[in-house]
Amino acid sequence: MAFETRPTGGGVRFRLRDREHEAVSVRLWLDLGSRETRPMTAVEDGWELDLRRPPVDRLEYLFVIDHGDGAESMQRDPANPLRVPTAFGDHSVIEFAGYRRPHWLDADAPDWDRTSLVVRAAGLRQPLTISLCGPPGRHPREALPLLLVHDGPEFDALGSLTRFSAALTAAGRLPEHRLALLSPGDRNAWYAASADYAAALRGAVLPAIRNTVATRGPIALAGASLGALAALHAAHTHPGVFAALFLQSGSFFRPTHDAHESGFAGYPAIVDFVAHLDLDVSPAPMRVALTCGLGEENLANNRLMAESLVRAGHYVRMTEVPDAHNYTAWRDALDPCLVDLLAEVWW
C-alpha cells in the first residue's frame, strides 16, 4: 500500500514506512515555532502522526530516527518528492492547497552582471566580501539606486534575490538598481547589535561600494533573522545613512518572549539595544517594511518592534505571512512587500 505523508481535511497525516520497525523511535521535526520535535506512534507498517494544520500554506519537515545504538539521524521523507533547499540541507515540504509560488520565478529576465570586492574594516577581525549585482551592460559609473542585503549570497542562492530584482526590473515595477550582497563573515558577532559592524557598514562598506560603482538616491538595507536586527541596529546607530529598511523575521529579542535564546552570546547586547530603542525618537525617520511568519516564534517580538518603530517616528508597514522562519518564506514575501518599499523610496 502507499504509505505516504499527505494533507487531510484539517491538517496533515505524517507517515514513515518501517515494516520491520528497525527504528526504536521516530520523531517529527518541524520548521515551525521553536522547532520542537514530536513523537510519532508505531503502527503496523511504520510510524504515524496526525497534526492539525498550523497557520501556514507550506510546512517544512524532517524525520528524526533513533536507531537504538545511541545514534540519531535526521532524514527527508522518502515517499514525498517535494523538497526545498535550506541553509541546513534539503527539507521535505508539504504545500497546502492555497500555496502559490511567486510568479516572478518563471518570468523572462536577463542574468545580472556580478562584481566581487573585499572590504577590510577596523574592528572586524576578518574581511567582508561583497558581491555587487546589477543589470547587464551598465557601466560602473552609471549611477543606480542601491540595496544592501545581509546574508546576501545565501539569500541569493536560497531566496532567488537577483532573480527577483531582474524580473521586477524587467517588468517595470522597480527602477534599475544594484544589489550589494554582503557575506555574513563572523555572523553571530557582527549581527548581534555590534557597534563595530555598524561602523564598518558606514565607514568602510559604503565607501568601497561607491568607489566601485556609482549610486544615486536613498540607500536601502535588508536582512532576515539576525540580519534584520543588524540592519536596524546599523540604521539606528548612524541615522540618515539608510532611508529604507526591509526587515524579515527579525531577532528582536526581549526577555518576556525570548528567554530561551539567553544562551546565545549576543543575547545581552540585542536585549539592551531593543530596550533602548523602545525609548528613542529617531532624528531621521525611515520607511520600514517588516515581514514575519504566522508560524514562527519571532512573531510576538516583531509585532512589538513594529509598534516601537511607529512610536519612534518611522513610517512602518508590517505584513504577517502564512509561513515560518525560512528562506522560502522570505522569498515569497518579496513581492509585494519589498517591491512596495523600494518603489516608494526610489520613485
Secondary-structure percent of the chain, ordered helix, strand, coil, rounded to 5: 30, 30, 40
Residue percentage of the chain with pLDDT more than 90: 87
Q: What is the pLDDT of residues 250-291, one digit of tens each?
A: 999 999 999 999 999 999 999 999 999 878 888 899 999 999
Work out the pLDDT band at 167, boundaries 50, 70, 90. Answer: very high
Cell numbers for 124, please give them.
572586524
Q: How far is CA 256 from CA 38, 225, 291, in A?
A: 25, 18, 21
295 contacts 189 by C-beta, under 8 angstroms: no
In the predicted model, is pLDDT for residue 2 greater than 80? no
CA-nearest of 132, 129, 94 to 112 is: 132
DSSP annotation of 279 = T
Work out the pLDDT band at 3, boundaries 50, 70, 90. Answer: low
Work out the pLDDT band at 20, boundaries 50, 70, 90. Answer: confident
Those residues whose C-beta lies under 8 Å from the C-beta of residue 322, and which sit 6 or more positions away, are: 55, 56, 57, 98, 293, 294, 295
Give dist(CA 241, CA 85) in Å, integer. Answer: 34
All structural domains of the chain: 6-95 (2.60.40.10), 103-346 (3.40.50.1820)
Q: What is the pLDDT of residues 37-61, one digit of tens each?
A: 999 999 999 999 999 999 999 999 9
Overall average pLDDT of the 207-227 stretch? 98
pLDDT value at residue 266: 96
pLDDT value at residue 79: 93
